[in-house]
Chain A
Amino acid sequence: MNSGPRLSPTWGLVVAALALAAVPALKLPAFYESFLYLVFFWISLATSWNILSGYAGYFSFGHAAFFGAGVYTTATFTTAFNVPFLLSLPAAGLVAALLGSVIAAVVFRVRGVRGELFGLLTLAVTFVLSTIALNTRLDGGPGVFLAAVPVPTVFGTPATTLYHLALAAAFVSVFAALAIYRSRWGMGLFAIRDDEDVAEVLGVPTFRYKLVAFALSCFIAGLIGGIHAMFVTYVTVAETFAVGLAVDAIMMAALGGTRVWYGPALGAVIITTLTQSLTGGESAVLNRALIGAILIAVIVFLPNGVAGGLQRRFRRAAPASAGARTSVGATAGPTASTIARVTVATPAPAAAAPLLGCVEIKKAFRGLQALAGVTLDVRAGEILGLIGPNGSGKSTLINVVSGYYRVDGGQILLDGQDIARVHAHRIAGLGLARTYQIPRSFHRLSVLDNVALAAMFGGGHGRATGRSLGRAWLAFTGLEAKADALPGELNLLERKFLDLARALASEPRLVLLDEVLSGLTPAQMTDALGLVRRIRERGTTVVFVEHIMRAVLDLADRVVVLSGGRVIAEGAPRLVMRDPDVVRAYLGKAYA
């Protein structure tokens, strides 16, 4: 893919780490070693913060809490229990990770705690921990001295050992950030940042992904905390559980770029160098003011950070080659046949077997009974039109079936298996996909990545296959020319088709379309109708919610009419339209 020889980032990291490991051998003045130590320290903190907060968008202001957990684990183990320093480090990481996991396991179950609320909650955790440390034997007030704890020396002095440990922590954190960035997991975290609910419905196991990312992030923070405890040799609560520490890490990540794996490290290098070069007695105050000003300037003028800006420049410089790849490589060869195979693989079952069965589904929102016992079957291979007046429960039904809402009662059987209480991402894995009335794309991911993500998580493919399948599905919906665009650059029809391509890319057996046609011009509608037919020809069962009767009559094999949260009629489209109950539901009694 790449033209010319280029060092892969992984090897680049290894080479850089080895080169830096050799620095103490140069016998430079001690200043350089401690300066580099601080750089590694901040790289570890900023990068580990970014693994959850940058990638998944859960901004934590509580990084100091987990850092502090590591500091006090090492301090307590080495001074009170005489554990060797090196052995206390894994413990420091694990204690922080355990703490993070417990908090995450509680917090991530609450759907509403996102964005700024998550930030405040983690901030509060910092204060709670610091109060506990201050009032118990962990610290008790006067601080803990570690000067008497022996530090093993391998090369030269104890300071060199700490240098190497910090380097190792920085390497581990950046390497983890890179590995996650390129993995399914990273893709899933990015999707969570843009639209967590959609990600879950597409098959991303959001709870597990966030929890593991948080635990890893805390582990690294705890690890560097343990190392730092020995570096400062005297730890106090005020210095350790400092909100400013979390904020400095956030600022570095934001300056470097939270959506790029090397962004936080870059930001850490820039800020640490700046502060070190400006340090000097009285200018310390101005220095802090300068950092504040940088923070403001970055958020206001550089929303994607330095690395984000660099990346965009690269992307803009290479559109020609990207275009060439699209036309030659992807669409014609292996991918088209992959789609063909998928078609064959989808069983073409006996006509009447119900693929989806809803039995007495109930769902209420506070006092409003949105679904009052809905029973209906969807037969494999059919196109079922779901109609009904506004507020009759059509969208709620789709939300319930796809697992976004949990039912109050009743059964939802997909191929005989009850999915009423199954997590949305599992339902996606079982072969169910949906679109949204107002298209919901991941707005910071390219059009191609939007679709590739669905192929990866719903279809269970790797990243490479996911991308080539994604291209094929874009071709299927006529969007291949827009593969590298961002969703915001598409018009309404294209965004609806992107939603559709994304739903199809998970290779569902059943796809739920929520008003794909609304807002389209007549010509666009003809395109869309043709597309829905082609979906069925591939063997996918279609349920579509629609208000436009021409489309319903045109497409549907069968129609189900909802009103007031109940099924009031079902059958062949033209017959159902004449049903007096249906006419009454739409037009009122006088016309029935």
Chain B
Amino acid sequence: MAGLFTGGLYALLGLGLSLTWGLLRVINLANFALAFLGAYLTYQLATAAAVDPILTLIVIVPGFFLIGLALEEGFLRFKLDELTSLIVTFGLTVILESLIQWIWTADFRRLESPYARTSLKLGPLFVGLGGLLAFLAAALLTLATWAWLRWSYLGKAARAAAQDGPMAGAFGVNRRRLALMLAGLSSAYAAVAGLFIALNHTLAPSQIYSWIGVVFAAVIIGRLGNALGLLAASVFIAGSEALTMAVTAPGWAPLVSFTLLIVILLLRPEL
């Protein structure tokens, strides 16, 4: 059960990564730092202005959409490929981390909200409201994204452009606008992920890096650009982590996801 909820958060974090990597050929490591920026902004708005944390999305999501647009604009202008985008976005991550540390210091921050405290009784189990909402949001967004990519005209155009950009362009797909839209969307997902990080976890700038390995594993195992696969992989990984923690010491948990990642890369490298 705990695996299910953690898996939801992995999926939320991975959604933007999977979309930009699978469809735009950009590996956006900064996605994690953006999510944390979102988390800190939620924290700030909710504590300073005493707004309900979920309402902060109204401001943060459009803002992050614009950030995503700006980033993609830069990637397009300098024609970055997967490897260079990985390095550049790492640089960006470092900058964002410094920014966060500068504003909010390196101390741990904890958002006190009713969502973190409330538990619901589902049958025999008590379930944290924050975790439940994270999973529901993840399920909703991944399903919607999956359906959108699969059935809508724009989704089809996006997948065609990922396979053969110039050819899709020749058939009238406005690749530039499509890329900007996808990148904006991916950033917006990072903002949503940030909200749930703020609701369910303690914040510290160095925590940015703690999610990278697991989420990459989920994105790759779920296949790039495949939102539904991502959700399944996230839940699977989180579940096996929870199991490892229960069976052995909690410290061994990271071994599961990374070993899975290595094995999957070796067995099915054709992404």
A interface residues with partner B (beta carbon < 8 Å): 59, 106-107, 110-113, 115-117, 119-121, 123-125, 127-128, 131-132, 134-135, 141, 243, 247, 250-251, 254, 285-286, 288-289, 291-296, 299-300, 303
Contact = CB atoms under 8 A, between A and B. Distances in A.
A288 B98 contact: yes
Given A288-B98, A293-B91, 9 more contacts: A110-B269, A116-B86, A121-B266, A123-B212, A251-B87, A285-B102, A288-B97, A292-B91, A299-B87
Contact of A293 (B86, B95, B101, B269): B95
Contact of B94 (A107, A128, A134, A288): A288
Nearest to B249: A135
Interface string B248-260: 0101101100110
B52 interface: no
B262 A247 contact: no
A338 to B, nearest CB: 40
Given A116-B82, A250-B87, A292 B93 contact: yes
A121 B94 contact: no
Nearest to B21: A116
A250 B29 CA distance: 16
B139 interface: no
Given A292-B91, A292-B94, A292-B98, A124 B82 contact: no
A286 B261 contact: no
Contact of A120 (B90, B216, B249): B216
Nearest to A128: B258
Given A106-B266, A116-B82, A292-B94, A299 B258 contact: no
Contacts of B90: 247, 292, 295
Contact of B83 (A115, A131, A289, A291): A115
Contact of B98 (A111, A125, A285): A285
B151 interface: no
A232 to B, nearest CB: 19
Nearest to A303: B84
A112 B270 CA distance: 6
Interface string B176-190: 000000000000000
A141 B85 CA distance: 35
B91 A121 contact: no
Interface residues of B, number: 40
Contacts of B94: 288-289, 291-292, 295
B95 A121 contact: no
Contacts of A116: 27, 82-83, 86
10 contacts: A124-B262, A125-B262, A251-B87, A254-B87, A289-B99, A292-B95, A293-B91, A295-B94, A296-B95, A299-B80
B249 to A, nearest CB: 6
A296 B91 contact: yes
A547 to B, nearest CB: 23
A131 B86 contact: no
B108 interface: no
B78 interface: yes
A131 B94 CA distance: 23
Given A115-B83, A117-B271, A131 B252 contact: yes
B61 to A, nearest CB: 25
A547 B143 CA distance: 49
Contacts of A119: 83, 86
Interface in B65-109: 78, 80, 82-84, 86-88, 90-95, 97-99, 101-102
B91 A115 contact: no
B265 A128 contact: no
B41 interface: no
Contacts of A127: 213, 254, 258
Given A115-B82, A115-B83, A124 B252 contact: no
B83 A295 contact: no
A295 B209 contact: no
Nearest to B27: A116
B217 interface: yes
Contacts of B86: 116, 119
Contacts of B27: 116
A243 B262 CA distance: 17
A131 B255 CA distance: 6
A516 B93 CA distance: 48
Nearest to B84: A299
Contacts of B4: none
A113 B262 CA distance: 11
A108 to B, nearest CB: 11
B213 A112 contact: no
A234 to B, nearest CB: 19
